Amino acid sequence: MSATILDGKTVAAAVLDRVRRGAASLLERTGARPGLAVVLVGDNPASEVYVRNKTRRAEECGFASRLVALPASVGRDELLARIGELADDPAVHGMLVQLPLPDHLDAREIQRAVPPDKDVDGFHPLNAGKLLLGDDDGLVPCTPLGVIALLDHYEIPLAGRDVVIVGRSNIVGKPLFHLMLSRHATVTVCHSRTRELAATCARADVLVAAVGVPGLIRGEHVRPGAVVIDVGINAVDDPAQAEDLLAGQPRRLERFRRRGRALVGDVHFGEAREKAGAITPVPGGVGPLTVALLLDNTLRAARRALGVPA
Ligand code: GUN
């Protein structure tokens, strides 16, 4: 059996199209564009790519986007002051501080300086608490929202299904647990201390991998016919590892041999595809949805700030 490929690019394009129309309608009704501010500290190359992607997509959707780039040496007080300016600026409806931050900064303190109603990452404790309590007026982290958008698009039901999430991060695993629970799934969260990982995963109707370990999930972890969602994005440059993880994908392996680098997920795609009923690729699965849902969150925040119903 070969699995249906769940195409995140198509689903993201549909979300972005809806967001673009929403932004145009907001502009017509209020004269205001949704405003997104992204704070980038230092010169982490991966963060630079992510941030560029966020601001570029925001502009494509008709948003006013602002990048505040600060040196890695920026002090706590200066960073908090810049965040405070954005927090007070009525043209900024959504804002985020790109992670990771340099070691001398306390990420928890910095994240808490973002006002909850502009916290389009959904990382503020107030928004995390609202998600826990099932209040639907909070802002929810974008990657878990992207997973749900993908499942909804392909009409994959969750109520009563067994969902296994591998990974307990604050950004993906924990919020996704609550979203899945609110959709009436029976949810198990696995992590580094889980015993019998393969057997637990192999019980899942829907298996989500979000740990950041390249190829951790192999064929033996996948129940025949299961839906496999791979949230991992890992850069691999070790040839032996790439030959293993890209086995069964000759074109990607060929490209690795030319470039010496490949992006892979937490799932061994070649093995999992043989058993799954449906599976996301990496790249091109959950990744494109994260930015689309960030902009959707920003549009929601803007509508709320401007008193415009959806
Ligand atoms: N770094 C990696 N993922 C994220 C994210 O979702 N938000 C922010 N702010 N930084 C990140």
Overall domain count for the chain: 2
- Read off the pLDDT of residues 281-294 as tens digits, 9 standing for 90 and up: 999 999 999 999 99
The contacts of residue 33 (CB under 8 Å, 6+ apart) are 23, 26, 27, 62, 63, 64
Pair 37, 153 in one domain: no
- The rounded Å distance from CA 223 to ligand 1 centre is 31
102 with 190, same domain: the answer is no
Residue 161 tokens read as 């299904």
Asked whether residue 262 falls in the same domain as residue 151, the answer is: yes
The residue annotated as part of the active site, out of 117, 119, 121, 230, is 121
Annotated active-site residue 121? The verdict is yes
Query: Is 309 part of any domain?
Result: no
96 lies in the same domain as 158:
no
Label residue 1 by pLDDT band (50, 70, 90): low
In a domain, 121, yes or no: no
Residue 111 pLDDT grade (very low, low, confident, very high; cuts 50, 70, 90): very high
Residue 158 and residue 274 in one domain: yes
Q: Among 49, 95, 96, 110, name the best residue to mutate to test ligand 1's pocket (greatest count of ligand atoms within 8 A of Cβ).
A: 96
Q: Within this chain, do residues 207 and 264 fall inside the same structural domain, yes or no? A: yes
pLDDT at 2: 84
Residue 171 sits in the same domain as residue 266: yes
What is the per-residue pLDDT across 11-22, written as a single tens digit (0 to 9) for each?
999 999 999 999
Q: Which parts of the chain fold into alpha helices (H)? A: 8-30, 45-60, 76-88, 107-112, 125-133, 142-153, 173-182, 197-201, 239-245, 250-259, 269-275, 287-306
Atom of ligand 1 nearest to the CA of 171: 6
User: In the chain, pLDDT over 90 holds for what percent of residues?
Assistant: 99
Same domain? For 182 and 46 the reply is: no
Residue at 201 is within a domain: yes
CATH number of the domain bearing residue 225 = 3.40.50.720
Average pLDDT over residues 256-277: 98
Give me the CATH number covering residue 96: 3.40.50.10860
Instruction: Tell me: do 146 and 273 sit in the same domain.
Output: yes
Domain termination site, one of 115, 150, 180: 115
Q: Nearest C-alpha to atom 8 of ligand 1 is from which residue? A: 98
Kindly state whether residue 14 falls inside one of the protein's structural domains.
Answer: no
What would the pLDDT profile of 28-85 be if each residue is shown by its tens digit? 999 999 999 999 999 999 999 999 999 999 999 999 999 999 999 999 999 999 999 9
Q: What whole-number distance in Å separates Cα of residue 291 and Cα of residue 265?
A: 18
Residue 298 forms part of a structural domain: no
- Same domain for 185 and 74, yes or no, is no
Instruction: For residue 10, tell me if it sits in a domain.
Output: no
CA of 94 to the centre of ligand 1 (A): 14
Domain span at 167:
142-287
Sequence-distant (6+) residues with CB within 8 A of 182 are 134
185 and 108 belong to one structural domain: no
- Examine residue 126 and state whether it is found in any structural domain, yes or no: no
Whether 110 and 153 share a structural domain: no
Q: What is residue 225's predicted lDDT score, i.e. its pLDDT?
A: 98
CA 96/CA 94 separation, integer angstroms: 7
Tell me whether residue 98 is one of the annotated catalytic residues: yes
Q: Identify the residue whose C-alpha is closest to ligand 1 atom 2.
A: 99
Q: Look at residues 55, 34, 170, 63 and name the one whose alpha carbon lies nearest to residue 111.
A: 170
Q: Hey, whose CA ends up nearest to atom 3 of ligand 1?
A: 99
Asked, for residue 292, whether it belongs to a domain, the answer is: no
